[in-house]
């Protein structure tokens, strides 16, 4: 704790000095040499090494995670994983959270049967609603508007673990996920898919595109229509999606890609329920399965959203490149939920009716200047930029008096009407950041990456119930520093330090405005990529600390204080790629020791809630040859260790093991596939709350049969 305290206490100006010194060290030694002018760079669109491509098999060569300019993944001094296009095709995930199920450090679907958002933790920190980006621009949930992305419109997913304050400003300490959209390709292609699965879920999808003869204009259209449900009786899982892309590339130096989409969803909320023998006396018996697998007709989550934007790049010359990414998104949300909120008595379950009617929008723009130069024997890339995001949510929330249901004869056979509003407000959050990153590759195989960012966040809330307006201004200076060293024969050790922060709206009992919650991470790791093989192995140890964490005020009810601190430390291992010409594999293991190191609530030294100590997974995919060529057999197992349901460590959540299977056969232009998740229909609790507040079931067996054809 001593070193961490010293780091946090140092004057902010030292960050600027340290960054400037690091950057100068990478270039000053060669300042007397005249920079060498590089030959013109010819851009190969959508090649397999591009950070926007789907990768090669189960590996990717480059990434923009960790460095906005894009560098080889092995030169990023942080833990990065890429869910490639091949993995998405083989496993056919239904949600983004499902696509992350075999990624180290990630606990996916940690809220079980809950379709509202993509929910997951990274290194034990709740990241799903706060740390999702699409094409490098923020796409986090705003209040109850989730802005979900369907995997059908996704090319790849990059996962950067640890604080990301230099890259993106406010963000959770666990890391971030960047979804890369499918883009136009300069070729003719088309694919159609029909599928049917559990809960009478039927889906039709298309993906097609073409380009002009001159090779300067390309387009792509992606669409999907789904009608179905989930484990809850009569619950909906419907989606209508249309996405398009147009790329204009008049020269090899200039390219603009326009991306847009429209999406309608009808989804189901979560289902927390009490457990016999834990939340109420076991003598009353377990809740009937017919009740546990159902929801009240009142429940619904209907959304309608769209987005439009572009990504532009222009190479002024062989050294200077200009980029700008921009997107505007909107979503209308109608959300009704009769939810369980604890035991009102020994036999009475308490339910409350809750409503949300809101409109949310996000405008995001990121403008970058990249300068590349050769300084002596070193190659240097400097990226400087300014980004701005405005997020607005406008709507109401209602909360009712509540309903009682007896555990001995539970039934949803009663009417529920919309409750009165307790919130009617409009919140506008403006985020802006000025950042600089520098990446130097030395002749001896060492790379040095440093970054510095100044962020400003302004939040304005118009409360229409009280006719008042409140504002809060926050700012933060964050830095990152890391190095890699290519030792030869494929071995690359790395080490890094990174900072991040999140804002906290509100004030303590005495009226003092909350400060941002700060985070910092130290990480050391080793990568191994054998030359000439499509294979990557990596391991890392990390230590993440969050300070200024909000906790309940022990002296003033309904207020909070900023005296909390948590520390997550552990290790991760990952292997992905081709073991043989026909056998591909993904392996991951994570150990997380999550401790509450400071608290006013008696939780100090306890394990942080909802953090499995162990996570492990293994996926194997075998492509047959010879007479069985075209047949692929894939299968995996996932282990999620036990955890605590609350910070008081009063309720333990058992660990579980799940199995998945994927079988496909391709011939000519056709492909038929069968995918099954939770093959043995394991019954388990995804997570629980404190005693009497119940658990939420994990997702049961899901089966999908699909037929696709390429034209």
Judge residue 141's burial from the number of C-beta atoms within 10 Å of its C-beta, 0-12 exposed, 13-18 middle, 19 or more buried. buried
Q: H or E element: which one contains 456?
A: strand 446-463
**b or e along 552-585 (b: 16 or more beta carbons within 10 Å of the residue's beta carbon)?**
bbeeeeeebbbbbbbbbbbbbbbbbbbeeeeebb
User: Rounded to an integer, what distance in angstroms lies between the CA atom of residue 237 and that of residue 109?
Assistant: 16
> DSSP states of 519-556 as a string?
EEEEEEEEEE--TTSSEEEEEEEEEEEEEEEEEE-SSS
Could you tell me whether strands 71-72 and 643-644 are parallel, antiparallel, or unpaired per DSSP bridges? unpaired
- Helix, coil or strand: residue 27: helix
Q: Is residue 153 within 8 Å of 144, Cβ to Cβ? A: no
Residue 3 pLDDT: 36
Helix (H) or strand (E) holding 86: helix 85-91
Total residues found in the chain within this entry: 711
Tokens 């990390």 belong to which residue? 542
Predicted pLDDT of residue 595: 97
**pLDDT value for 112:** 86
Mean pLDDT for back-to-back runs of 10 residues, the chain (711 residues): 33 39 39 38 54 94 93 97 97 95 94 88 91 95 94 97 95 96 97 96 98 97 95 90 98 97 94 95 95 92 97 96 98 96 96 97 98 94 98 96 94 94 96 97 97 97 96 96 96 98 88 91 97 94 96 83 94 97 97 95 93 98 96 98 95 97 97 97 94 93 97 91
Model pTM score: 0.92
């Amino acid at each position: 704790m001593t070193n961490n305290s010293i780091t946090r206490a140092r004057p902010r100006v030292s960050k600027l000095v340290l960054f400037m010194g690091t950057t100068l060290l990478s270039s000053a030694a060669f300042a007397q040499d005249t920079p060498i002018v590089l030959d013109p760079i010819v851009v190969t669109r959508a090649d397999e090494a591009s950070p926007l491509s789907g990768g090669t098999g189960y590996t990717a060569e480059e990434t923009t995670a960790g460095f906005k300019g894009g560098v080889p993944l092995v030169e990023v001094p942080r833990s990065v994983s890429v869910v490639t296009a091949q993995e998405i095709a083989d496993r056919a995930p239904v949600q983004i959270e499902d696509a992350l199920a075999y990624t180290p450090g990630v606990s996916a679907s940690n809220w079980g049967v809950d379709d509202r958002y993509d929910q997951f933790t990274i290194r034990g920190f709740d990241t799903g609603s706060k740390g999702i980006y699409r094409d490098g621009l923020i796409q986090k949930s705003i209040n109850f508007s989730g802005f979900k992305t369907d995997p059908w419109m996704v090319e790849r997913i990059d996962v950067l673990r640890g604080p990301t304050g230099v890259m993106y400003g406010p963000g959770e300490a666990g890391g971030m996920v960047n979804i890369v959209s499918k883009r136009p390709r300069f070729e003719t292609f088309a694919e159609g898919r029909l599928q049917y699965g559990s809960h009478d879920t039927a889906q039709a999808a298309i993906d097609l595109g073409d380009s002009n003869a001159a090779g300067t204009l390309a387009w792509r259209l992606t669409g999907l229509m789904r009608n179905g449900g989930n484990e809850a009786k009569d619950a909906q899982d419907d989606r209508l999606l249309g996405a398009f892309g147009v790329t204009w590339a008049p020269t090899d130096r200039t390219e603009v890609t326009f991306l847009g989409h429209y999406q309608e969803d009808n989804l189901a909320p979560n289902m927390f329920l009490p457990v016999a023998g834990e939340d109420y006396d076991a003598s009353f018996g377990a809740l009937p399965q017919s009740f546990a697998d159902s929801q009240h007709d009142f429940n619904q989550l209907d959304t309608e959203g769209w987005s439009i934007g572009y990504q532009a790049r222009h190479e002024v010359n062989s050294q200077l490149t200009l980029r700008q990414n921009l997107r505007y998104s909107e979503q209308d949300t109608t959300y009704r939920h009769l939810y369980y909120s604890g035991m009102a008595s020994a036999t009475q379950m308490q339910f409350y009716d809750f409503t949300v009617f809101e409109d949310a929008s996000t405008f995001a723009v990121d403008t970058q200047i990249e300068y590349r130069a050769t300084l002596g024997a070193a190659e240097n890339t400097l990226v400087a930029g300014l980004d701005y995001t405005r997020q607005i949510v406008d709507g109401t929330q209602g909360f009712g008096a509540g309903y009682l249901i007896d555990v001995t004869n539970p039934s949803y056979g009663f009417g529920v009407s919309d409750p009165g509003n307790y919130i009617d407000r409009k919140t506008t959050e403006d985020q802006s950041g000025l950042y600089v990153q520098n990446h130097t590759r030395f002749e001896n195989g060492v790379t040095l990456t440093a970054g510095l960012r100044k962020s400003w966040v302004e939040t304005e809330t118009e409360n229409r119930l009280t006719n008042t307006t409140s504002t809060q201004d926050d700012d933060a200076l964050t830095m990152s520093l890391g190095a890699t060293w290519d030792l030869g024969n494929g071995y690359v050790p790395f080490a890094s330090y990174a900072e991040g922060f999140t804002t906290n709206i509100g004030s303590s009992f005495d009226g003092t405005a909350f400060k941002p919650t700060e985070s910092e991470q130290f990480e050391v790791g080793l990568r191994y990529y054998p030359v000439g093989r499509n294979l990557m192995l990596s391991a890392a140890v990390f230590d993440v600390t969050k300070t200024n964490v909000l906790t309940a005020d022990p002296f003033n009810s309904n207020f909070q204080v900023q005296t909390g601190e948590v520390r997550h430390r552990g290790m991760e291992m990952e292997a992905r790629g081709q073991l043989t010409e026909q056998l591909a594999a993904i392996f991951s293991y994570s150990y997380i020791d999550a401790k509450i190191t400071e608290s006013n609530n008696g939780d100090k030294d306890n394990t942080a809630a909802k953090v499995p100590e162990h996570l492990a997974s293994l996926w194997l995919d075998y492509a047959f040859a010879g007479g069985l060529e075209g047949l692929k057999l894939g299968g995996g197992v996932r282990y999620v260790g036990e955890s605590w349901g609350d910070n008081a460590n009063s309720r333990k959540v058992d660990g579980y093991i799940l199995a998945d299977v994927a079988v496909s056969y391709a011939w000519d232009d056709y492909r038929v596939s069968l995918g099954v998740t939770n093959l043995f229909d394991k019954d388990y609790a995804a997570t629980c709350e404190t005693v009497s507040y119940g658990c939420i079931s994990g997702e049961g067996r899901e089966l999908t049969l699909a037929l696709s054809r390429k034209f």
